[in-house]
Structures are given as structure tokens and as C-alpha cells.
Structure 1
Amino acid sequence: MSGNVLFLSHEASRTGAPILLLNFLRWLHRNRNINMRVLAGKSGDLTAEFAAIGPVDSFEPSDALWYKAMRRLQLQHRYDSNHLMGLRRTFLSNNIDLIYVNSVASARMLDFLSFVKCPVICHVHELDDAIHTMGIEHLALLEKRRPAYIAVSKAVQKNLVEKYGISPDRIEVIRGCVPGAKERAIEPEQARKVIYERIGICEQAKLVCACGSIEFRKGTDLFLKVASQVMQKSHDMPVHFVWVGGTRDKVAAMQSQVANSSLRDVVHFVGPTSNTGIYFGAADVFVLTSREDPFPLVVMEAASHGKPTVCFEQAGGAPEFVEADAGFVVPDLDVAAMADRIVELLLSRDLCSRMGAAAHQKVISHYDFDVGAAKLAAIIEGKTQGCGDEMRRVILPR
């Protein structure tokens, strides 16, 4: 494979879609001959890691305080215009063969790039609520370029077909995957020792882990309700709950809320970390309380550490992985049923171990990162073959 590919990421945060893109770019860097450039909606925790692979530009002019002050005063327009003209000159000179849009949320950046005429691939990580939250006009902007779609789950494909009338033959399902599932080096006892000391848990306690941004869609409120129900049903068994992820302000808000509740000694919001694996390794059970989640990588991360997952059946792609052997799928938003299944796993070491082992084997056998990355690379290769200077058409700005 060769060519110049521009990858659009709606942001550079340490969240699912940007992390998957980063892992894929690292794989491409090792395994394919391709010139890669990233245009991120705004800079973030992953910016430096993207930059270690190739050039990175930011669609947002600046994240500096002075620029934010200018925006509040509505004095940023000239600066914005100069910034966008600079990006236009950059991409006109790059001879782009393909634009890879890493989420529907990046559609406005694609619309800005209308002067670059080349094939477009859109990797869809969103379900209907997320699309409506950002604005359904994003899909209209994508459809102007008639992209090939990659859906991260059957649930995402079904939503695109049934809600937005996109032909199934334009959508390929390639489920998310995580690198290094075969080489997890964290021993559970070592991880437990570190995490239990870090957040103050007694050695006999059980640990239930969740991971993600703190928001309604991720069901952070449901997580607290599940924790409360488990505490009522677990009798004298000590159980703690940890939520990994979230912005600093939201983590602080949740910590304050918990501190003023009956859960103050058992629920822990620890914020974001580059080493989520140590929390998965320390946990007994992973719980996904999302109301909507296309195909959460955290479920496979937990599975790679041998942990079963409990999730809701209508939440998105997670049930496609969990099925009947890698944890439990409970009726949609049934907090009591979720708590019952968590308690069942915590009370039976054999059941928890058996389902965790099945989850681990499944992620190794069917969600190998090299296989998934090779499928994505093959789609890129198919779209860039024959794209030379004689076939590339770029419209110069007026």
C-alpha cells in the first residue's frame, strides 16, 4: 500500500474512537507504506502520540486561554479565517489520495475539505442518540461525498440502514478490536495490590469496574443505582465500585455527589488514566451501564484481562460480544437485573472465572487487532489503488 491519506479525528481525547484510530495508525506505520496526516477537531491528550506517527493539524485554531477569551468576546473571526486559509494551503499541497473520516462527528471538517476531490471512507462509531445530539445534518454532510461506510457493529449498521436509508452494500461491519490481548502482562494479584492500596480497599473486598466518559449516554447515573442495589443484595460481602475516565470537572462533581450520599465509602471516581488495564486486572467484574454504546472497546479491554461483562441488551454492540458465555446481557435499563447478575458473579468464583476465561478466549480468537487492522487497511488500499496525479482532481479556492 502506498499513497497519501488524511485521517480526520473529531478530537484527540483519550476516548474510544480516537484511541482506536491511534492504534490503527501505529499498526499502519509498522506494516504499510503510507503517508499519514491527521486533522483533529481540537488538540488533546493524544495529540503528541499522533504526532509521533506523522504530521498533525488542529481544526480548532487554538486551545490557548487568549483564544478562548477572544471567542467569548466574538473577536476571533479574523484569526479563524487566517487559520483555515493556512489549512487549505497545506492540504492543497499534500496531494491527498483518500480522506478517512474516523467518526460522524468529523463531518464538518470533511465539508471544509470540499476542495479536495478524492475517495472518502467514514468509520462510524455512533448510534442514533449520539447522531441526533450532534445534529443529523452531519450525516447529510457526509452523504454529499458518498463515502464508503465502516460500522463498528451490526447495531450501527442497522441504525444507518433503517434510520437514514443508507444502502447496506455501502456499509461493511468491522468490529472494534484492541491490540495486545495475547500479551497482557499484568498479574491480577499485582494489579489488585496496587489498586486496592491506591483507593483504600480491604483485601477481602470485591471490585466492580466501569470505564468511560461521565455523561448521560454512558449511564453514570445508572452506575450509582446499580451500586446501591448491589450493596443491598450482597449481604455482608464487601463490594467496591470504581469508575475510570471522565473530564476533571465531571470527576470532581461525581466525587462530591458520592461524598454526600450513602455510597461515599464504596464508589470511587478515579478520573482518566493511560493505564486502564491495571484497573481491569484488579476488578472481579466489568459493568457497562451505557444507554447507548456502538461497540465499546472497554468491554474487550476487560475481556483481555479475563473479566466478564454485564451490560444492557438494547444499548448497542456490547451484547454482540458478550452473548451467553462472556458475562450477562440483561433487559434494557433494568438496574435490578443488572445488580442481581453482578452479585451472582461475585458470589461464585467458578462462574466468574469461567465467564472471564470465555471472554478472554473470544477476544483472542475473534477480535485480534492485526486481523481487524488488516481489514481496514484493505479497504483503504482498494480506495487508493490507481490514485495518481493524473486521477486526482483538486479544486483551487476562489
Structure 2
Amino acid sequence: MARLLFVLHEASRTGAPFTQLHLMRWLKQHTQHKMLILLLKGGALEPEFAEVAQVHVVHPPYVPGQSLQIRAWNRLGQFYRSHEDRALAIARAFQADLIFANTAVALSYAATLKQQLRLPLISSLHELEITFYYCSATEFRRAAEQVDAFMMGSEAVQQYYIQQFEVEPARTHLIYDFTGPVPAQLTPPAQDIRARYGLEPGTLLVGGMATLIWRKGPELFLTVAQQVAQQLPNVHFIWVGGDPKSATYQELQRDVRLLGLQDRVTLAGNQADIASYYAAFDVFLLTSREDPFPLVCLEAALYETPVLCFANSGGMPEFVRDDAGVVVPYLDTAAMAANTIALLQDERRRLQLGRTARQRVLDEHTIEAVGPAILHLIESTLSTSSAG
């Protein structure tokens, strides 16, 4: 039995936290390892993490009250330092054998813990170039020197860090990102999405699902919708994700209105019941400019929905290939629209691509499929560290 200290940047309902949760649940079920997770920020998944391990939030929210700005900043620094000291004390008391840092954002803190606790460190990476528009590449490079083994979420991710950060290939391990456990029979949808939005029963649905940030390309989704709508009358586009109160959401709604697509496009905002949307989609569009290996595509594929994505946009072309959807040239919305139309008009091909996509997820991209490889990486890193 080992004691595993996990470090994660936040507990939001997004890809990396979900993969972390799937992994920890699997480890709890299949091993005797003890687990502690340090969250740099909290989030909606905190209660679910607490069901499988001890949880500590390193940086809880700080409210400076009525203090003057400079005093507030000074107090903020003291506040964070005090909580980091407490987190370190909790980590010491846990007596961990290994640190597992999930995401590039969490690595700097994890590397500091490694130096303080003198433990081996595994870094699970999913991010690509755009992350380092917002985070320090210099700080990451310094922290990466402390890593014993890197777990790369796609080949695109692996090659990026080898080429851009000169990470030694021998320290990298390609283990694709994954979904949680998949039941033998998918749960029937809880709601009829077509009925919910007043659509005819036979309406074809094209879906997208993500936050509304530039990297995800929601405006490209609208461009494809416009081009498809000009040629096919019985198609509706639905984008799930984003806060309807946000400025970005309002900007996109404005585009929908000015493009005359009010009856052809729905910006659904954040939804709790995403399974019903997956079940309703006939085609799934990944319009991201960059995405390491998005779980939404794997989840859509489980419902036998083919995926369309851009080449040179991350790891999804590695999944789609030429038999689980269609890969079109980078940001070529005309090609994406043309292939969307072709699939919507060819039910036999669409269903075949969808069946292949589902089987590929089941064979290669569930926690049951990749869990043993992750466990082997953890235990081999522990063994190597002990031998050293």
C-alpha cells in the first residue's frame, strides 16, 4: 500500500478534474492505496472528491472587507501564505510516498511540495500552446525539471512538450485521456431535447459543447451553422455551455440574431443534464482552435455520434482518424459545413462512423481501459524512487 498525494488546480466540472475524479475512484476500487488531494481552488466537484479521499483546498476564497487596497493586498499575501503553510502541514502529516500533479497549472506548486517533502513526482499534462499565453512558460520549465515521469494525455501533447520544452522522451508516457466507467446500457435520456426547444421530431441536430472562450471557437460553430442552414432546412444547431449572463454569451446571441439564425441555432448555456443532449445529437462538432483530447468528444462518441474536428488543433484527430468522424483542414469552416451536410444526408455512413467511435472509446478511452497503465506508472515510479 502506498500513500498518494494528488495536486489539482481546481474542482470545476471540466475535463481535467473529471479525469482526476475517475482515476481516484478507480484506484479506491482496485487498490489499497491511501489518497489525499490538495486543490489549489475549490469547485463544484469538491463533494465528489471528498467521497473518495481526504480533500484540502489550498487557496479558499479571500474577501478583504473594507480595508484599503494596499492593506488588502498585504493581507491577501499573508492569507495565502498561511493557507499554504497549513496545506504543507497536512501533506507532511499524511506521510505521502508520491505526488501526482494533474495539469500544467498545478505543477509549480507540486514541484515546490516535492522539494519540501522529498518525494517522487508524476505530472499529468493535458495543455498545449494557448495555456502558456496565460501562464508562465519559464515557471513551468523550472518546475518540469523536478518531474520524474510525465503522463501525456495525447500524442499532440507529448510532442508539444518534447519539442517546445525539451522534455526528454524517456520521461514521457503516452496515456490517453479517458471517460469514467461506462455502463453496459446507456441510461435513456431524461428529456426530449427536440420537444424542449419546440423542434419537429425528425429535426436533425448538430451539437457542440464547451465554455464560450476563444480557444473553443463558438463563433466558428455559428459560421458552420450559417453555411449548413443555407442548404438544409431541417437542421438545428445547439451549443451547450457558457453562462447566459456573460458578455460573451450576449455577443454570440447578437451574432445569431444578425445572421438570421434565431430559428436554427440555440445557445443552451450550462446544463446539468448533458446526457440528453448527447443522446439527441446526430453529429458533434469540435470547433476548437486547440484542444488536447476533449472528453466531450469521447462522451458524444459513446452515444454513437460521429465527431468533426479541425486538423492541427490538438489530440482529437488521433481519435477521429478516418473512421470515427471527419477531420477537416484547420479552421476550414466551409469544409466542416460540407462534411456536416454530407453526414446528415447519409444516415448509413453517419451511423457506421458513430458505431466505430463508440467502440474506440470502450476499447481505448475509459478508466477501465487505461487505469492499469496509470497504476503501473505510479508503482514503477515508486519502485524507481525507492531503488534510487
Gaps of 5+ in 1: 393-398
**In the alignment, what sits opposite 2:6?**
7
Structure 1 residues 127 and 70: CA distance shift in structure 2, 3 A:
farther
**In the alignment, what sits opposite 2:83?**
83
Structure 1 residues 71 and 19: CA distance shift in structure 2, 3 A:
farther
Over the residues paired in the alignment, what is the CA RMSD in angstroms? 2.3
- Post-superposition shift, 1:95? 1.0
Tell me the distance in 2 between the aligned counterparts of 1:239 and 1:71: 56
Tell me the distance in 2 between the aligned counterparts of 1:229 and 1:135: 39
Tell me the distance in 1 between the aligned counterparts of 2:68 and 2:231: 51
Q: TM-score normalised to the size of structure 2?
A: 0.91
Structure 1 residues 309 and 94: CA distance shift in structure 2, 3 A:
same
Gaps of 5+ in 2: none
Structure 1 residues 366 and 253: CA distance shift in structure 2, 3 A:
same
Tell me the distance in 2 between the aligned counterparts of 1:252 and 1:233: 26
Q: TM-score normalised to the size of structure 1?
A: 0.89
Tell me the distance in 2 between the aligned counterparts of 1:77 and 1:387: 35
Task: Look up the SS of the partner of 2:35 in the other structure.
Answer: strand
- Post-superposition shift, 1:83? 1.6
Tell me the distance in 1 between the aligned counterparts of 2:271 and 2:118: 39
Map 1:2-41 onto structure 2 (within 5 A): 2-41=1-40
Task: Look up the SS of the partner of 2:304 in the other structure.
Answer: coil
Map 1:281-300 onto structure 2 (within 5 A): 281-300=279-298
**In the alignment, what sits opposite 2:257?**
260
More off after superposition, 83-92 vs 339-348 = 83-92
Contact 1:244 1:271 in 2 (8 A): yes
Tell me the distance in 1 between the aligned counterparts of 2:143 and 2:239: 34
**In the alignment, what sits opposite 2:204?**
206
**In the alignment, what sits opposite 1:333?**
331
Map 1:1-398 onto structure 2 (within 5 A): 2-60=1-59, 62-63=60-61, 66-67=63-64, 73-74=72-73, 75-113=75-113, 114-181=115-182, 183-187=184-188, 190=189, 194-234=192-232, 237-247=233-243, 249-250=245-246, 252-253=249-250, 256-258=253-255, 260-261=257-258, 262-385=260-383
Structure 1 residues 138 and 308: CA distance shift in structure 2, 3 A:
farther
More off after superposition, 160-169 vs 365-374 = 365-374
Q: Which has the higher contact order (CA 8 A, sep 6+)?
A: 1
Task: Look up the SS of the partner of 2:94 in the other structure.
Answer: coil
Structure 1 residues 33 and 321: CA distance shift in structure 2, 3 A:
same
Tell me the distance in 1 between the aligned counterparts of 2:22 and 2:243: 22
Tell me the distance in 1 between the aligned counterparts of 2:57 and 2:281: 37
Tell me the distance in 2 between the aligned counterparts of 1:123 and 1:53: 19
Tell me the distance in 2 between the aligned counterparts of 1:247 and 1:45: 15
Q: Residue deviations 1:343-371, cap 9 Å, x none? A: 11111211111111111122222334212
Q: Residue deviations 1:88-134, cap 9 Å, x none? A: 22112221111101111112322442311100000110112223432
The AA in structure 1 aligned to 2:17 is P
Tell me the distance in 1 between the aligned counterparts of 2:270 and 2:31: 32
Tell me the distance in 2 between the aligned counterparts of 1:27 and 1:86: 28
Taking every aligned residue pair, what percent have the same amino acid on both sides?
31
Task: Look up the SS of the partner of 2:193 in the other structure.
Answer: helix
Tell me the distance in 2 between the aligned counterparts of 1:149 and 1:299: 24
